[in-house]
C-alpha cells in the first residue's frame, strides 16, 4: 500500500510539471523549451508588426484601442455586466434541474413511456435546432405582447426563460451521455439487491453519471455565460447593450473591447478550471486502472 501511495503522489506532481513543458515543447528536453519560447516570441512579434504596419492601423487604433474611452466606459459596462452575471447564475440553476428532468424522461424504459421519451427527443431536437437569438427574440417580444395578467413583462425574465429552454436541450444531452455511460451491470447489481428503479437511478446511476459529465457541463456553462449578451438584443442593459450605447454615443468602439475583456475575465478561468478537472479525472482513472 505504501508503494501505491507513492505512485499516486507521483501522478499528482508529474503531469502538472510536464503539461506546461508539453505545451511548449512536445519534443522534450530543455533545448526544445528554448526553441519553443523563441519561435513563440518571433511569431507574436511578426503578428504585432503586421497589424501595426497595416495601412488602416492608426484609424483602428483610434477607434478600438483608445485608453481614455476605455477608462471612461469601463465602470458603466462593469455595472451592466452584473446583469449578465445575474442572468447566467439564475439560468444555470434552472438549466441543471430542467435538463436532468429531460434526460431522465428520455431514459425511461419500456413501451409505456414512449410518449414521454418522444417528447424529450422532440424537445432536444427543436431547441438545439433553432438559433438562440431567435428563441430570445420570439419569447422576449412575443410573451409580454400577450398582455396576460400575471405574465411578467420584464425582458430579462423572458431572456432567462429563453436561455433555460435552449441550454436545457444541450445539457440534457450531456446528462444522457453520462447516464448511458454507466454500465448496465451497475443497474443489474442495484436491482438485484431489491432497490426500485427510482432508488437505483437516484443512488447508483445518477451520481456516477453526473460525476462523469462535469467537464462537458462546465463547457456548456461557458457558452451560456457568453450568450447572456444575446438578452441585450431585447433591450435589457447588460454589458453588450451598454457598450453599444457607448459606441453609438461616441463613435468609438473601445467600449466593445471593454465588454469583451469582462466576458473573457470570467470564461477563461472557468475554461482552465474545466481542463484541470478533466486532467484530474483522467489521472484518477489511470491510477484506478493500475490499482485494479
Partner 1 sequence: MSAALEIAGLRKSFGRTLVLKDIDLIVGEHEVVCLIGASGSGKSTLLRCLNLLEPIDAGRIVVAGEEITRRGVDANKVRRRIGIVFQSFNLFPHMSVLANVTLAPRLALGRGKREAESQARELLGRFGLSDKIEAYPDHLSGGQQQRVAIVRALAMQPQLMLLDEVTSALDPELVAEVLEVIGELAAGGMTMVIATHEMGFARDIATRVCFLDDGVILEEGPPERIFTTPHEERTRQFLERIVNAHRL
**Closest to partner 1 by CB, 203 or 272:** 203
Q: What 3 state SS string does 169-223 have?
A: HHHHHHHHHHHHHCCHHHHHHHHHCCCCHHHHHHHHHHHHHHHHHHHHHHHHHHH
Q: Does residue 39 belong to the site contacting partner 1 (CB under 8 A)?
A: no
Q: Does residue 258 belong to the site contacting partner 1 (CB under 8 A)?
A: no
Q: Does residue 3 belong to the site contacting partner 1 (CB under 8 A)?
A: no
Alpha-carbon distance of 99 to 194, in angstroms, equals 28
Q: Does residue 291 belong to the site contacting partner 1 (CB under 8 A)?
A: yes
Q: Does residue 120 belong to the site contacting partner 1 (CB under 8 A)?
A: no
Helix, strand or coil, per DSSP, at residue 1: coil
Q: Which residue has the cell 451598454?
A: 242
Q: Does residue 292 belong to the site contacting partner 1 (CB under 8 A)?
A: yes
SS3 of the chain: helix, strand, coil, percent, to 5:
85, 0, 15
Least distance (Å) between residue 206 CB and partner 1: 10
Q: Looking at 19, 61, 211, 282, which residue binds partner 1 (CB under 8 A)?
A: 211
Q: Looking at 189, 249, 261, 268, which residue binds partner 1 (CB under 8 A)?
A: 189
Question: What cell numbers appear for 41 in the block?
Answer: 516570441
Binding mask 270-289 for partner 1 (x = CB under 8 A): ------------------x-
Subset of 217-256 contacting partner 1 (CB under 8 A): none
Alpha-carbon distance of 216 to 250, in angstroms, equals 40
The length of the chain, given as a count of residues: 292
**Chain positions contacting partner 1, by CB under 8 A:** 4, 185-186, 188-196, 199, 203-204, 207-208, 211, 288, 291-292
Amino acid at each position: 500500500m505504501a508503494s501505491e501511495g507513492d505512485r499516486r503522489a507521483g501522478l499528482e506532481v508529474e503531469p502538472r510539471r510536464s503539461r506546461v513543458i508539453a505545451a511548449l515543447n512536445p519534443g522534450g528536453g530543455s533545448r526544445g523549451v528554448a526553441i519553443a519560447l523563441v519561435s513563440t516570441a518571433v511569431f507574436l512579434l511578426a503578428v504585432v508588426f503586421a497589424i501595426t504596419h497595416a495601412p488602416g492601423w492608426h484609424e483602428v487604433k483610434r477607434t478600438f484601442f483608445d485608453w481614455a474611452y476605455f477608462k471612461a466606459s469601463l465602470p458603466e459596462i462593469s455595472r451592466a455586466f452584473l446583469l449578465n452575471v445575474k442572468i447566467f447564475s439564475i439560468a444555470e440553476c434552472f438549466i441543471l434541474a430542467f435538463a436532468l428532468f429531460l434526460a431522465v424522461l428520455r431514459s425511461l424504459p419500456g413501451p409505456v413511456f414512449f410518449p414521454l421519451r418522444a417528447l424529450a427527443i422532440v424537445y432536444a431536437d427543436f431547441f438545439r435546432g433553432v438559433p438562440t437569438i431567435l428563441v430570445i427574440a420570439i419569447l422576449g417580444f412575443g410573451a409580454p405582447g400577450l398582455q396576460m395578467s400575471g405574465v411578467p413583462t420584464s425582458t430579462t425574465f423572458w431572456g432567462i426563460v429563453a436561455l433555460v429552454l435552449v441550454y436545457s436541450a444541450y445539457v440534457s444531452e450531456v446528462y444522457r451521455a453520462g447516464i448511458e455511460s454507466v454500465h448496465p451491470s451497475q443497474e443489474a447489481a442495484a436491482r438485484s439487491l431489491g432497490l426500485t428503479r427510482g432508488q437505483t437511478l437516484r443512488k447508483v446511476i445518477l451520481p456516477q453519471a453526473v460525476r462523469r459529465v462535469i467537464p462537458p457541463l462546465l463547457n456548456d456553462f461557458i457558452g451560456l455565460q457568453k450568450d447572456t449578451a444575446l438578452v441585450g438584443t431585447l433591450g435589457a442593459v447588460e454589458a453588450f447593450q451598454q457598450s453599444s450605447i457607448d459606441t453609438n454615443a461616441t463613435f468609438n468602439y473601445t467600449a466593445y473591447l471593454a465588454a469583451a475583456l469582462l466576458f473573457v475575465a470570467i470564461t477563461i478561468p472557468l475554461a482552465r478550471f474545466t481542463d484541470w478537472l478533466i486532467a484530474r479525472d483522467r489521472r484518477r482513472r489511470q491510477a484506478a486502472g493500475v490499482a485494479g
